[in-house]
Amino acid sequence: MKEMKNKKHRSGFDRVAFLKRVIVVLLLICLIAPSVMCVFILKTLNDSMSRLENELDELSETIRVMNENNFAYRNNRLSLDDTFVNEPIVWRERNSSEDGYGKQFEGRKVYLTFDDGPSSNTGRILDILKEYGVKATFFVVGKPDAVYSDVYRRIVNEGHTIGMHSYSHKYGSIYSSEESFKDDLEKIQNFIYDTTGVWSVYYRFPGGSSNSVSSVPMDKLISFLNEEDIIYYDWNVSSGDADSGYIPVQRIIDRSIAGVGRFPHEAVVLFHDADEKDTTVEALPAIIEAIQGMDNTEMLPITEDTMPLTHITLTGENEDMEG
Ligand SMILES: [Zn+2]
């Protein structure tokens, strides 16, 4: 009797233990299952996100190349023959006369141009240009800080062309009125003269002549430059070094070389001379070597013999904004 009671007791315990185990297992399942689900969902989300990101990258790259090709096509067409006078791009009047642009050299002329300097990188750029025996063009802004005085002078002393890129480089003020544009121009022209002794007659509009930020019609500003005997230059090859904050060296090299390759007569290449543009400096030797290796090609500084290359079109169509 006592034994039976014990047996009953034990099986009671067994049931309790069994129930306990079931509860523990259920609890574990309840705890683990959502975690596993969460991990799975997160992983799926993450995968989709990176796929989307890649697709977005590809899309923006495609758009960029399409824009670039559109612009390159039109400029290439112009530079392939000399009938550009009646083409949609407005060239300075002096181009229409055969007054000797590019008479000295019949091959491809490449103009390396550096905007926005001087900067902490100007010295490195000048060192590289010196090493390769290349002359370039610097479209500078006004930096009255004494540390830059020697940099402006070094640009000039080493045989490069010093051009103007506005004094302040502030779109908001330069392009707010004709008067403020003139004031800024006068300021940078005098500043360069006072610092280097050179009266610069070359100009590159901040954002290019095709910028869409100017409150003043660009043709008014261009007429003013003409009156002042100042020649403005845009570019037909962008190194892409200002597309975003950090641009890999190889990308700058590839874009620059491919860009120059598209223009058999004249390539004006846009680079930026700025503190944070280290990869531009690092890309420069390979770019110079590649151009030096191209047939019948010469790198030159912009001079009065350089055929002005401009973005402004008769239809007022705008090109990509950089510079
Ligand atoms: Zn600029």
Cα 117 to middle of ligand 1, angstroms: 9
Compute the distance between CA of residue 311 and CA of residue 88 in angstroms, rounded to an integer: 10
Q: pLDDT band for 5, please (50, 70, 90 cuts).
A: low
Tokens of 311: 């973005």
pLDDT digits (tens, 9 = 90+) for 18-32: 888 888 888 888 788
Cα 278 to middle of ligand 1, angstroms: 16
Closest CA to 256 of 233, 232, 281: 281
Question: What is the average pLDDT across 265-282?
Answer: 97
Cα 63 to middle of ligand 1, angstroms: 23
Residues 68 and 168 grouped into a single domain: no
For residue 100, with 0-12 CB atoms within 10 Å meaning exposed, 13-18 middle and 19 or more buried, which class applies? exposed
Asked if 286 contacts 131 with a C-beta cutoff of 8 angstroms, the reply is no
Range in 50-64, 94-108, 232-246 the model is least confident about: 94-108
Residues 260 and 166 grouped into a single domain: yes
Cα 153 to middle of ligand 1, angstroms: 20
**How many Cβ atoms sit within 10 Å of the Cβ of residue 230?**
17
Cα 221 to middle of ligand 1, angstroms: 17
Cα 322 to middle of ligand 1, angstroms: 7
Residues 132 and 69 grouped into a single domain: no
Cα 238 to middle of ligand 1, angstroms: 13
pLDDT score recorded for residue 239: 97
In a domain, 99, yes or no: yes
Cα 207 to middle of ligand 1, angstroms: 6
Residues 229 and 264 grouped into a single domain: yes
pLDDT score recorded for residue 219: 93
Question: What is the average pLDDT across 10-17?
Answer: 73
**Would you say residue 90 has pLDDT above 60?**
no
Domain that holds residue 127: 84-299
- Phi then psi for residue 231, to 5 deg, are -100, 130
* pTM of this structure: 0.68
Cα 139 to middle of ligand 1, angstroms: 8
In a domain, 323, yes or no: no
Q: What angle (nearest 5°) sits at the alpha carbon of residue 268, between those of residues 267 and 271? A: 130
Residues 258 and 168 grouped into a single domain: yes
Residues 57 and 156 grouped into a single domain: no
For residue 161, the SS3 value is strand
Q: Compute CA distances 262 → 71, 256, 313, whole Å.
A: 11, 10, 20
Domain end position, chosen among 36, 62, 80: 80
Residues 107-135: b if buried by 16+ CB within 10 A, e if exposed: ebbbbbbbbbbbbbbbebbbebbeeeebb
In a domain, 316, yes or no: no
Cα 257 to middle of ligand 1, angstroms: 21
| pLDDT more than 70, % of the chain | 75
In a domain, 167, yes or no: yes
Range in 95-104, 129-138, 214-223, 244-253 the model is least confident about: 95-104
DSSP string computed for 49-93: HHHHHHHHHHHHHHHHHHHHHHHHHHHHHHHHSS-GGGSSB---G
Domain count within the chain: 2
In a domain, 119, yes or no: yes
Domain end position, chosen among 43, 59, 80: 80
In a domain, 261, yes or no: yes
In a domain, 211, yes or no: yes
Asked if 175 contacts 181 with a C-beta cutoff of 8 angstroms, the reply is yes
Q: Which residue has the higher pLDDT, 97 or 61?
A: 61
Asked if 232 contacts 308 with a C-beta cutoff of 8 angstroms, the reply is yes
In a domain, 306, yes or no: no
Question: What is the average pLDDT across 145-156?
Answer: 97
Residues 32 and 168 grouped into a single domain: no
Closest CA to 215 of 175, 184, 178: 175
Compute the distance between CA of residue 134 and CA of residue 114 in angstroms, rounded to an integer: 13
**Would you say residue 273 has pLDDT above 80?**
yes
Domain end position, chosen among 47, 80, 113: 80
Residues 49 and 131 grouped into a single domain: no
Residues 116 and 243 grouped into a single domain: yes
Cα 172 to middle of ligand 1, angstroms: 13
Residues flanking ion ligand 1, Cβ below 5 Å: 115-116, 206, 323
Cα 295 to middle of ligand 1, angstroms: 31
CATH number, residue 106: 3.20.20.370
Cα 250 to middle of ligand 1, angstroms: 22
For residue 29, the SS3 value is helix
**Would you say residue 257 has pLDDT above 90?**
yes
pLDDT score recorded for residue 51: 67
Residues 170 and 278 grouped into a single domain: yes
Residues 152 and 125 grouped into a single domain: yes
Residues 153 and 47 grouped into a single domain: no
Checking DSSP bridges between strand 297-299 and strand 108-115, what pairing results, if any?
parallel
Cα 54 to middle of ligand 1, angstroms: 30
pLDDT digits (tens, 9 = 90+) for 229-253: 999 999 999 999 998 889 999 999 9
Cα 43 to middle of ligand 1, angstroms: 43
For residue 282, with 0-12 CB atoms within 10 Å meaning exposed, 13-18 middle and 19 or more buried, which class applies? middle
